[in-house]
Structure 1
Amino acid sequence: MWFFIVLALLVLLIAWCMIDFYLGRREFRKTRHKRVYPKRFSNIILLTHGPDLFNHLCEDIKTAKESVHVLFFILSDDHFSREFMDLLIQKAQDGVEVRLLLDQIGSTKVKKQHITMLRDGGVDIAFSQKVKAPYFFFTFQQRNHRKISTIDGKIGYLGGYNVGREYIDEDPKLSPWRDYHLRLDGEGVQDLQKEFLLDWFRATNKDLSDEAKYFPVLEKGTVTHQIFPTEGIRIEEIFSRYIEDAKTSITIGTPYFIPTEKVMNSLILALKRGVTVTIIVPNKSDHMLVKEASFPYFRKLLVYGANIYQYMEGFYHAKVMMIDNDFCDIGTANFDKRSFELNLELNNFLYDQQFIKKVKIEIAKDISGSERLTIEKLNSVSFFTRVKEAVAGSISTLL
């Protein structure tokens, strides 16, 4: 008797979650407005090693004179995170306006005492994408996955890194951490600033977008690029379009490969017309089921001749796509349904061939540190792995 009661309650709970998610996403999409930024010219540095990134970022924060705006998906509870918070407090006490915006679920490890410490120290801190009625399950799932930092409105950062010890190679399970992040100075910083201030307004109801002091005059840099924000819409369409236009090669680096049907079909059509498709993913996994969720897609792509590599020298978290050596995307969006259909993401489209050559060098390093995945290996996985594949496939949008 109790078994059937529990089973009935479980079925009702699953049904409620599905209805909540469907209605919540439908309602959210009605409110979204497409934001299209023009091509800009900035000086851009590619940073692929956590200690290097945070050395740059912390030094830039230390030199800030007017404002420091920081948005991360994850701020952890460890010595490095506390050092980062201490730096923000120090700048606030120096008279610099410091705002820290964190995803509510991604940064649940931030303790109340640290929030109080930041506020008492002069840091204006807020949380993005709060879980709220009436769509509790949907708002719990939809995350602000962006990572943006702007300093004095003149220097900007975006990419895959968050703040925590794993990102500076101090996690024995996942180190070394391989990721891509960008440092900008030049025209493109104004667009990063606009995105931060938009998310800040949504979280706090404080509109600072018309404050001229956050938008100083910026000089042109040397790299042609375009900031590309997405919120559960557009990214699938744009990525498919670039894949469909590919003539010779497509390279994708991602920690999670769970494409939508539209994107998957675009990749298969590219392979059929002779385009070389190369995909780099981690061998290690940092979340349950995400590795197994990719296997059915890999089997289909391998049949058509795709090259798939599993990175073996640590954890691979880069988000990069390169088309024909003349277009490159680096940002926060993973190559999965959660990024395509659900999360708030921020990417940067790069059109400068000299910069793309630098990215190619890093991708070559990724491949050299990887092992090639074969159809024979995938077809010989255990029964337990097949079960995990089936479970992952049923909840793929939420992985």
Structure 2
Amino acid sequence: MILFTVAVILLVAFIFIFLLYIDYVFGRKSHLKSVSKTNPSHSFSTLSIFVDGPSLFDDYFAELKQAKSHIHILFYIVKDEGIGQDFLTILKQKAREGVEVRLLLDWAGSLPIILNNKLKKDLKSHGIELAFANSPTFPFLFYNVQARNHRKISVIDGKFGYIGGFNVGPEYINLDPKLTPWRDYHLKVTEEGVIDLQKSFLTDWNNAAKVNLLQNEAYFPAVSKGLIQHQFITTDAAFLEEKYSELIKNAKHSIEIGTPYFIPGPCLLNDLLDAIHRGVSVTILIPYTTDHLLVKEASYPYLRKLIKAGAEVYEYKNGFYHAKTMIADDIAVIGTANFDKRSFYLNYEINCYITDASFHAQVREIFKKDMSKSERVALKDISGFNLIRQGKEILARSLSLFL
């Protein structure tokens, strides 16, 4: 009887996992049919980079308070506590003043707000237009639940834009004991690049709220041309891996990657190994402290092969490292995408690809400073017999796409 019960449980589990697999496979195929590669023109802007939460949010909140016509905001996570409450209070005040406020949140990342009907009613009663991105839909429910809008975009009056790794919550301003200080990279954008950010936000708003504002000239005031050449590229769970592969294959001297989650998959792993074999130096910076289960163990199989080939891997030890960057020769990338399978195959992301020499040097200097607060990982540190680690690696390997 016991064996029969166990067999039934295993059969049910197998059928359940098989159905999830079928859902994902066909959901992925359906999704890829609906997206196409974008190759926007280069813009010229003024870019400022923030690397800590307090300075970013001081600047960000000051600009929000000065808004005169509209505020458009997309975040993956907004928490209704601490700085999150301050943030929402500012938006309510601006809406009362007659400023158009549109707040777009990811369905999964901001689930507590979705479930808080009182808060949603309060925001709407103050005049804030609220929508949620990537809400689960049929068919392919499992696949659609996994797809996340991971972009973080703010546009104020069509003149100021923000994009990067920070969300809104206490941990981002160093109020989480485990993850403090929080290290991240976030850009402030003025001039031409704001148009690109506005288009990206309004496209996502149309998809979520079913309201098309892309042709409204009020959201695209005249802007001047800045000095820093760059390109904003949005990816909707497709083509990001291809873009990174192109950068790695074209690199001739050095590749530096900063990411909280390093789970590249076989394609980019082989690209990095090929780069090392042709003499390109490869440096990877990851956090020592993690904020999610199994992400470190999921990275070990890739890191072992890269270290053996000659890559240098460092763990950041001055708090939590959440920045998303890649510096390949003379191109610096800063954005919302992690160097992991979720960002490549499931998340909706936006990155800024910067070719300006002076700004490139600034990003590299920040990366070097973070390296100075890190320790190099030796092969022996992540190898050898360790039953707990190896067990976690097996589990992480099976779940790596969804971590």
Tell me the TM-score range normalised by the shorter chain.
Answer: over 0.9
Provide the residue aligned with 2:99 in structure 1.
96
Provide the residue aligned with 1:243 in structure 2.
248
Aligned AA for 1:166? E
Is residue 380 of structure 1 aligned with residue 369 of structure 2?
no
Aligned AA for 2:389? T
Provide the residue aligned with 1:205 in structure 2.
210
List, as ranges, runs of 4+ consecutive aligned residues in structure 1 with deviation greater than 3 Å: none
Three-state SS of the structure 1 residue aligned to 2:112 is coil
Provide the residue aligned with 1:34 in structure 2.
37
Aligned mates of 2:139, 2:345 — CA distance in 1? 20
Aligned mates of 1:365, 1:208 — CA distance in 2? 42
Instruction: Give the unaligned 5+ runs of structure 1.
Output: none
Correspondence 1:348-387 to 2 at 5 A? 348-380=352-384, 382-387=386-391
Provide the residue aligned with 2:130 in structure 1.
125
Aligned mates of 2:81, 2:150 — CA distance in 1? 20
Shift of 1:112: 2.1
Provide the residue aligned with 2:349 in structure 1.
345
Provide the residue aligned with 1:105 in structure 2.
108
Provide the residue aligned with 1:75 in structure 2.
78
Aligned mates of 1:91, 1:284 — CA distance in 2? 38
| Alignment match of 1:12 (pick from 3, 15, 18) | 15
Provide the residue aligned with 2:279 in structure 1.
274
TM-score (structure 1 length as normaliser): 0.98
Provide the residue aligned with 1:146 in structure 2.
151
Count of equivalent residues: 398
Aligned mates of 1:5, 1:380 — CA distance in 2? 38
Provide the residue aligned with 1:303 in structure 2.
308
Aligned mates of 1:141, 1:381 — CA distance in 2? 34
| Alignment match of 1:261 (pick from 249, 266, 289) | 266
Aligned mates of 2:210, 2:63 — CA distance in 1? 28
Shift of 1:36: 2.1
Q: Matched residues, percent identical?
A: 45
Shift of 1:341: 1.2
Per-residue CA deviation, residues 230-271 of structure 1 (Å, 9 max, x unaligned), is: 012111111111111111100000000000211111100000
Distance 1:124 1:381, change over 3 A: farther
Aligned mates of 1:367, 1:381 — CA distance in 2? 29
Aligned AA for 2:56? L
Indicate if the aligned counterparts of 1:75 and 1:109 stay in contact, CA closer than 8 A: no
Per-residue CA deviation, residues 325-369 of structure 1 (Å, 9 max, x unaligned), is: x10000000000111111100000000110111111110111011
Is residue 176 of structure 1 aligned with residue 178 of structure 2?
no
Aligned AA for 1:351? T
Aligned mates of 1:28, 1:256 — CA distance in 2? 24
Correspondence 1:177-192 to 2 at 5 A? 177-192=182-197
Shift of 1:4: 2.2
Is residue 161 of structure 1 aligned with residue 132 of structure 2?
no
Aligned mates of 1:240, 1:79 — CA distance in 2? 40
Aligned mates of 2:197, 2:385 — CA distance in 1? 44
Provide the residue aligned with 2:288 in structure 1.
283
Farther off after superposition, 150-159 or 33-42: 33-42
Aligned mates of 1:9, 1:161 — CA distance in 2? 41
Instruction: Give the unaligned 5+ runs of structure 2.
Output: none
Aligned mates of 1:232, 1:22 — CA distance in 2? 14
Per-residue CA deviation, residues 362-383 of structure 1 (Å, 9 max, x unaligned), is: 1011101111000011113621
Shift of 1:3: 2.2
Aligned AA for 1:50? G
Indicate if the aligned counterparts of 1:193 and 1:214 stay in contact, CA closer than 8 A: yes
Indicate if the aligned counterparts of 1:236 and 1:260 stay in contact, CA closer than 8 A: no
Is residue 218 of structure 1 aligned with residue 218 of structure 2?
no
Aligned mates of 2:374, 2:384 — CA distance in 1? 20
Aligned mates of 2:397, 2:225 — CA distance in 1? 46
Per-residue CA deviation, residues 76-112 of structure 1 (Å, 9 max, x unaligned), is: 1312111100100000001000000000010012222
Aligned AA for 1:243? I
Aligned mates of 1:255, 1:143 — CA distance in 2? 17
Indicate if the aligned counterparts of 1:281 and 1:311 stay in contact, CA closer than 8 A: yes
Provide the residue aligned with 1:44 in structure 2.
47
Aligned mates of 1:257, 1:183 — CA distance in 2? 26
Aligned mates of 1:130, 1:24 — CA distance in 2? 14
Aligned mates of 1:112, 1:226 — CA distance in 2? 39
Shift of 1:34: 2.3
Three-state SS of the structure 2 residue aligned to 1:288 is coil
Aligned mates of 1:397, 1:191 — CA distance in 2? 29
Aligned AA for 1:366? D
TM-score (structure 2 length as normaliser): 0.97
Aligned mates of 1:109, 1:77 — CA distance in 2? 8
Farther off after superposition, 25-34 or 346-355: 25-34
Is residue 329 of structure 1 aligned with residue 336 of structure 2?
no
Aligned mates of 2:270, 2:384 — CA distance in 1? 25
Provide the residue aligned with 1:316 in structure 2.
321
Provide the residue aligned with 1:54 in structure 2.
57
Is residue 234 of structure 1 aligned with residue 239 of structure 2?
yes
Indicate if the aligned counterparts of 1:299 and 1:378 stay in contact, CA closer than 8 A: yes
